[in-house]
């Protein structure tokens, strides 16, 4: 972290399992548009859910060896049972309840090294949007391993940690912001009292 801060704002890097990765330039549709839609989805959910905070591209200190900068995340605030805290120097420490990564050329890294880091840290839900392959992988933490959630017949995945957080996978992959929002609104309308975190 000292070296990273001393470098100024010229680079974006992450530390995963003790290895520093410098981030490459991001594609417009392959990353930028999908990233925008997923963070709109998460931000809208946080807007409608007291006690939830959304952030994107925030350095997250999972351990001494794992300091990623996820594309997006949702956390329950500590007073609502969340496990993260903000450090004195304004980084996030601890495992967010949900992390999302948009992966075009980085899909192997996101599906292996980063996935392992998030699993070690205890991130409860990890979503990888593989834009080039047109696949969304939603992993849920169960018994110290990630289980891949399959969308239902309508192509919808539902969070187990954030009641009402529903994702229309075909709409997201088609870059259909309206379709993503409509499904989220349906989830918000159907949600019940949140379970304990």
| Within a domain: 141 | yes
| Within a domain: 194 | no
| Within a domain: 172 | no
| Within a domain: 174 | no
Q: What is the DSSP letter of 67?
A: B
| Within a domain: 64 | yes
Q: Kindly give the residue spans of alpha helices, DSSP state H, lying in the chain.
A: 2-6, 34-47, 107-111, 113-121, 169-173, 177-190
pTM of the model: 0.84
| Within a domain: 101 | yes
CATH number at residue 135: 3.90.1570.10
Q: What is the pLDDT along the chain (197 residues), one digit of tens a residue?
A: 455 554 455 556 666 676 665 666 676 777 789 999 999 999 999 999 999 999 999 989 998 888 888 999 999 999 999 999 999 989 899 999 999 999 876 666 678 789 999 999 999 999 999 999 999 999 999 999 999 999 999 999 999 999 999 999 999 999 999 999 999 999 999 986 544 44
Domain range for 68: 2-152
| Within a domain: 169 | no
- ∠ at Cα 159 (16, 28), nearest 5°? 55
Number of domains the chain contains: 1
By three-state DSSP, how is residue 1 classified?
A: coil
């Amino acid at each position: 972290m000292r070296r990273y801060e001393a470098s100024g704002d010229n680079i974006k890097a992450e530390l995963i399992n003790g290895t520093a990765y410098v981030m490459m330039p991001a594609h417009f549709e392959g990353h930028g548009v999908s990233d925008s839609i997923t963070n709109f989805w998460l931000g809208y959910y946080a807007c409608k859910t007291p006690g939830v905070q959304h952030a994107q591209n925030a350095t997250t200190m999972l351990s001494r060896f794992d300091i990623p900068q996820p594309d997006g995340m949702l956390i329950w605030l500590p007073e609502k049972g969340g496990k993260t805290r903000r450090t004195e120097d304004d980084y996030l420490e601890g495992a967010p309840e949900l992390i999302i990564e948009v992966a075009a050329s980085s899909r192997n890294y996101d599906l292996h090294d980063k996935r392992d880091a998030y699993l070690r840290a205890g991130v409860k839900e990890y979503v990888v949007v593989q834009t080039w392959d047109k696949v969304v992988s939603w992993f849920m933490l169960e018994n110290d391993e990630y289980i891949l959630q399959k969308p239902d017949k309508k192509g919808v995945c539902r969070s187990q940690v954030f009641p009402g957080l529903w994702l229309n996978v075909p709409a997201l992959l088609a870059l259909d912001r309206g379709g993503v929002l409509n499904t989220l609104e349906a989830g918000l309308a159907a949600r019940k009292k949140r379970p304990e975190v």
